[in-house]
Structure 1
Amino acid sequence: MSSHLNEHGITHLRHVDLAVPDYETQRTFYKDTWGLTEVGTDGNLSYLAAEGSPEQYVVRLRRDAEKRLDLISFGAESRAAVDALAAHLGSQGVQLIGEPGDLQTMGGGYGIRFFDIDGRTIEVSADVATREHRKIEEGEAIPVRISHAVMNSNNLAATKEFYTDVLGFKLSDSLWSAHMGDMMHFLRVNDWHHSLAIATGPHPSVHHVSFEMRGLDEYMRGTGRVMRAGIKKVWGPGRHLAGNNTFSYFIDPSGNTMEYTTELEKIDEDQWHPSVYDIADPMTQDQWGTADPMSEIIAKESFNDPDRGLFVAPPV
């Protein structure tokens, strides 16, 4: 991995943390249906790891009366990078939740938390312990790692600018519509096509969280397993144009959209020029033609409930 792709030393997506009212149902879903491994619990917290990933966990569930996004966590190169980022954010008027310090969550580490322009809690951390992980076997239809997170914003341009101008994310591609203008911006911090994307929506909320499968066969087997479990499939299987990755979207028990994907594009930084893809072109949404055409009904499924956690730091 290039050490200087992101000017602030942000390296990759670590985990997405969700608060859910139906905590036990969600724990069961992520373990038994989605294929994550619960590596620890702490009171009202459940830490869920992907077997192929060195990250301590890729999803954290927290029991709460209100459904919300607790935080999105990204890695940093070093403690010095965390400190420098904190100083940079302060100079940009970004609201810090606290000074950089030792993290109290599984795997420890040193990090900073702050609110993005929409009020999401973002964490950037270094020195988090890695966990024992393994190679996912042929035919094993469980997530290898977290792939990316997509967030809805009702102020797409400003949110994209926050991530590119303040945090140094790079724009990979955009989706556009003749009626609506810009619909989605794909943003990267390493050579994966995107670690984060911002979608236009009626309110800030989770659009979806995506998990990388070992290959096409495992991706299809996983898609089928989740379908057989009676989980509502929103869209897929298909293959996007931007990022060239496959997609199968499902609604988890608390109404968050989760995706299985594979073969997300890797970018040659020196050769890359962002494209704008028209969503009216059927090839933009699905190169294979196997998924239902994108419709307003499908789009609305990913609007999600308005996030109740904006500009409110999670308790842990």
Structure 2
Amino acid sequence: MNERLITHLRHVDLAVPDYDKQLEFYTTMWGLEPTVTDGGIAFLAAAGSPEQYSVRLRKAAEKRLDLIAFGAATPADVDALAERLGADGVPLVGEPGKMQTPGGGYGFRFFDCDGRTVEVSCDVDVRAHRKLEEGEAVPVKLSHVVINSPNPEQNVAFYEKHLGFALSDTLMHPRMGSMMWFLRTNRWHHSLAIARGPHVALHHASFEMRGIDEYMRGTGRLLRGGVEKVWGPGRHLAGNNTFSYFLDPHGNTIEYTTELEELDEDSWHPHLYDFSDPAVSDQWGTANPMNEFVAKQSFNDPDRGIFVAPPV
């Protein structure tokens, strides 16, 4: 594993045909704040996050995952990572340079081994943010992103070797083998996870809430609003975090969570959890069972953006 130059998760960018419907959902129902909306592009911030935005929406003819963005500490680290990736034959979308997105900064983009676009940046302006109040059931920040891959072992090796991610835990099934790998780039249990799936796609994006009460209030708001629930509410064993999964208007699975585990990286040893045990999927036993419906929704549609960088 190379030296870790990635510091944290920044944002997830989605392209959607029905842009107006998606924008309405993420702002009025999901609880994100529009910071810039212009010409079919919307940058949506989480109230408690210093990141300029946690979700970017782009109007497009086809639904796709545009990119996943991570942070680095310094321009020297960005340059070193770009040089390392290029030397290892990883295709770069462009060389490091000035960012044209809100908050500016310095960064570059590349394709991972499945062809999804990944962005790394530093020196992005800190957004004015605040501590959420008791009972305020809107996202504090983007917690983690999970991706589907038909070649998950190759992806895990890619992110470990090239980006310095570390394995926290693995989920397995007696009949299907290893199914999900949780990867961290700081003390949080995971900022990225890779799931075995039939095609390359977004599995889900997860948003941290202030606490259990706010997590439940947000879950209830979506249920009352008629948003389709996929799975939850419950509490996972891997990561020890709560979960409520819903579908956005374009069929992407998104999650409210809280209390993701913080690890002592010096002493942590990865677990291999058997998720045929119901207590592994949900320690509380309150969620609907993990079944074919839940799995199918999380597979999502095949990603149309493989090895095609987004235009902006």
Fold equivalence (TM over 0.5): yes
How far 1:116 sits from its partner (Å)?
0.3
Moved runs in structure 1, 4+ residues, more than 4 A?
none
- 1:42, CA displacement in angstroms? 2.5
Q: CA deviation at 1:296?
A: 1.5
Residue equivalent to 1:275: 271
Task: Report the counterpart of residue 106 of structure 2 in structure 1.
Answer: 110
Structure-2 residue corresponding to 1:306: 302
Aligned residue among 79, 82, 95 for 1:83: 79
Aligned ranges 1:1-316 → 2 under 5 Å: 7-316=3-312
The 2-side partners of 1:128 and 1:121 are apart by 19
Quote the Cα distance in structure 1 between the aligned partners of 2:24 and 2:2.
37
Report if the CA contact (8 A) 1:245-1:265 is conserved. yes
| Structure 1 residue runs without a partner (length 5+) | none
Cα distance in structure 1, aligned partners of 2:157 and 2:107: 23
Structure 1 residues 228-271: Cα deviation after superposition (integer angstroms, max 9, x where no partner)? 11110000000000000000000000010000000000000111
- After superposition, the CA RMSD in angstroms is 1.0
1:302 aligns to what SS in structure 2?
Answer: helix
Distance in 2 between residues matched to 1:83 and 1:8, nearest whole Å: 13
Contact 2:4 2:163 in 1 (8 A): yes
Displacement after TM superposition at 1:289 (Å): 0.1
Task: Indicate if the aligned counterparts of 1:6 and 1:190 stay in contact, CA closer than 8 A.
Answer: no
Q: SS of the residue aligned with 2:299?
A: coil
For 1:312, give the aligned amino acid.
V
Q: For 1:45-82, what per-residue CA distance to the aligned partner results, in whole angstroms no more than 9, with x for missing partners?
A: 00000000000000000000100000000000100000
Question: How much does 1:292 deviate?
Answer: 1.3
Q: Distance in 1 between matches of 2:176 and 2:98?
A: 43
Q: How many angstroms apart in 1 are the aligned matches of 2:250 and 2:113?
A: 25
Any idea what SS the aligned residue of 2:290 has? Answer: coil
Structure 1 vs Structure 2: percent identity of aligned residues? Answer: 68
Distance 1:270 1:52 in 2: 29
TM-score (norm 1): 0.98
Deviation at 1:6, TM superposition (A): 7.9
Cα contact 2:2–2:160 (8 A) shared by 1: no
Distance 1:177 1:232, change over 3 A: same
Q: C-alpha separation between the residues in 2 aligned to 1:281 and 1:8?
A: 34
Deviations 1:262-307 (A, max 9, x none): 0000000111000010010111100000001211221111000000
